[in-house]
């Protein structure tokens, strides 16, 4: 199989192969899903991260295609560049479809327009009905020279390449253990339930977050075994675990560095400056990360805004998945001896300590509430015991001000309300999977409004 490099990648170990953006490579062996053995045009061989390449002939091989960005991120990227006619092609919220996002000064002020690429009954692609093409690259090439119904012709492909490289699954193939001598500590970022988090560098080149685990804070041997598996989890909406330092104590966990920090603090710091669509896409980012965990049979157990981080492009990523299983302190200990965050937990966890993907869905509903309340604490004036009693009796959170019906327009609210109620806070068997946001943005905004309609009483 022949592939083309989407990003530059510098070999980190003698077994790796350096990649140069735009050059072609031959895949010799797919060691596993995340690292492939490849050969370059000079005959050099080595391992490469699979998410840094794409097969020749796919839409991902084009410089105007942005694979892992949503509407809000596309708008941010285009406004940042500020070029009239700047554009990206991205995956649409509709399955197996694509959207062209274009920046224009035509109205006298910069704005972004979005055009969904449509198909005819004969599988031809078009943006304007009078101009149909056999492939998306042909369509884009035509509109680079002709506006033909668009606000502007597609003048400049805008790409995030080089500004925000995707994380790799570990620093190299099968490398999960990190030598502490390769880490440089720069400054403290904060502290959490496990210990101190610091900004640092690996081999003086790659920015990382280093969590120094407080001795006695977790079951170390069990976690180290799990870390070997967790480094294999790689998704654009998960904070990447690069590896663990285990040769000395305290042990250190090395992860991807996220410039804008904790989602909870980010929401509080930017109160009233984030639009409804931005808030929605924050929820969608989390949703995509949680879908991936579910597909890989991984349960988070502690999904909340405090356990999500925000990068320089305001993309939200889920972190600390599965970590609560190894906590030894009593921060989340109930009278039954279980460890969980009470205010984010469904009845089956509160009463039976039963975690599943369905309990993660419940927690996601509470996270949505955190986002649309701009970082308030759920059940803020109630004790854990009071929350257990209230949730057991059918009590639910009130609708936050940023999810008010007056600020979100839409129709078919009754049907959508039923969907969201089922999705979030029904009994476990009735909770839908986290692929809620496959519909339109406007529809999803109505869902967010609808979820908070029933303040009290069982759904």
Q: Domains in the chain, start-ordered, CATH in brackets?
A: 2-61 (2.30.30.40), 65-157 (3.30.505.10), 180-256 (3.30.200.20), 263-451 (1.10.510.10)
DSSP state of 60: G
Q: How far is CA 309 from the centre of its chain?
A: 9
Which residues are registered as beta bridge partners of 113? 102
Encoding tokens for residue 392? 């057991």
Per-residue pLDDT of the chain (459 residues; tens, 9 = 90+): 999 999 899 999 999 999 998 999 999 998 678 999 999 999 999 999 999 999 998 898 898 998 778 888 888 889 988 999 999 999 887 777 899 999 998 777 889 999 999 999 999 999 987 899 999 999 999 999 999 989 999 999 997 654 568 889 888 887 888 999 999 999 999 887 678 999 999 999 899 999 888 877 677 777 777 677 788 889 999 999 999 998 888 888 999 999 999 999 999 999 889 887 788 889 888 988 988 888 888 888 889 999 999 998 889 999 988 665 655 544 433 334 445 689 999 898 888 888 888 888 889 889 989 998 999 999 998 999 999 999 898 888 887 877 765 555 443 333 444 445 445 555 565 555 544 444 444 444 445 544 444 333 322
Q: Give the separation between CA 194 and CA 213, rounded to whole angstroms.
A: 5
Residues 7/50, Cβ–Cβ less than 8 Å: no
Residues 299/357, Cβ–Cβ less than 8 Å: yes
Encoding tokens for residue 344? 């984010």
Catalytic residue among 302, 320, 329, 360: 302
What would the 3-class secondary structure string for 383-441 be? CHHHHHHHHHCCCCCCCCHHHCHHHCCCCCHHHHHHHHHHHHHCCHHHCCCCCHHHCCH
Is residue 354 a known part of a binding site? no
- pTM assigned to the model: 0.78
Burial 282-294 (b: 16+ CB within 10 A, else e): bbbbbbbbbbbbb
The residues, any chain, with a CB within 8 Å of residue 322's CB and separated by 6 or more, are: 226, 230, 298, 299, 300, 301
> For the chain, what's the residue count?
459
302: annotated active-site residue: yes
The residues, any chain, with a CB within 8 Å of residue 122's CB and separated by 6 or more, are: none
């Amino acid at each position: 199989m022949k592939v083309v490099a989407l990003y530059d990648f510098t070999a980190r170990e003698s077994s790796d192969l350096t990649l140069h953006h735009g050059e072609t490579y031959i895949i010799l062996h797919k060691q596993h899903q995340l690292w492939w053995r490849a050969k370059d045009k000079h005959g050099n061989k080595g391992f490469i991260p699979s998410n840094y390449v794409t097969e020749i002939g796919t839409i991902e091989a084009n410089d105007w295609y942005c694979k892992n960005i949503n509407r809000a991120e596309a708008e941010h990227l285009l406004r940042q560049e500020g070029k009239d006619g700047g554009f990206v092609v991205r995956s649409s919220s509709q399955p197996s479809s694509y959207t062209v996002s274009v920046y224009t000064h035509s109205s006298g002020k910069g704005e972004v327009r979005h055009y969904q690429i449509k198909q005819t009954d004969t599988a031809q692609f078009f943006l304007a009905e009078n101009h149909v093409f056999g492939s998306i690259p042909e369509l884009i090439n035509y509109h680079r020279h002709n506006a033909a119904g668009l606000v502007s012709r597609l003048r400049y492909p805008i790409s995030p390449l080089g500004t925000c490289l995707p994380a790799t699954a570990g620093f190299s193939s099968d490398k999960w253990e990190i030598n502490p001598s390769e880490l440089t500590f720069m400054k403290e970022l904060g502290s959490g339930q496990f210990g101190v988090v610091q900004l640092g560098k690996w081999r003086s080149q790659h920015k990382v977050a280093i969590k120094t685990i407080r001795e006695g804070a977790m079951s170390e041997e069990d976690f180290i075994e799990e870390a070997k598996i967790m480094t294999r989890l790689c998704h654009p909406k998960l904070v990447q675990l690069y590896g663990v330092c285990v040769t000395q104590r305290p042990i250190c966990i090395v992860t991807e560095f996220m410039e804008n920090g904790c989602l909870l603090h980010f929401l509080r710091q930017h109160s009233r400056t984030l639009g409804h669509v931005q808030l929605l896409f924050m929820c969608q980012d989390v949703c995509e990360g949680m879908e991936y965990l579910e597909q890989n049979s991984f349960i988070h157990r502690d999904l909340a805004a405090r356990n999500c981080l925000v990068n320089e492009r305001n993309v939200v990523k889920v972190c600390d998945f599965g970590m609560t299983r190894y906590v030894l302190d009593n921060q989340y200990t109930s009278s039954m001896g279980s460890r969980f965050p009470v205010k984010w937990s469904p009845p089956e966890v509160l009463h039976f300590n039963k975690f599943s993907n369905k309990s993660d869905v419940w927690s996601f509903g509470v996270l949505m509430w955190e986002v649309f309340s701009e970082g308030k604490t759920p059940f803020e004036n109630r004790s854990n015991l009071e929350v257990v009693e209230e949730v057991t009796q059918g009590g639910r959170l009130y609708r936050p001000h940023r999810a008010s019906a007056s600020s979100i327009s839409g129709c078919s609210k009754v049907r959508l309300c039923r969907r969201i109620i089922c999705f979030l806070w029904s009994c476990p068997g009735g909770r839908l999977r986290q692929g809620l946001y496959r519909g339109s943005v406007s529809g999803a905004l109505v869902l967010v409004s609808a979820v908070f309609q029933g303040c009290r009483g069982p759904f």
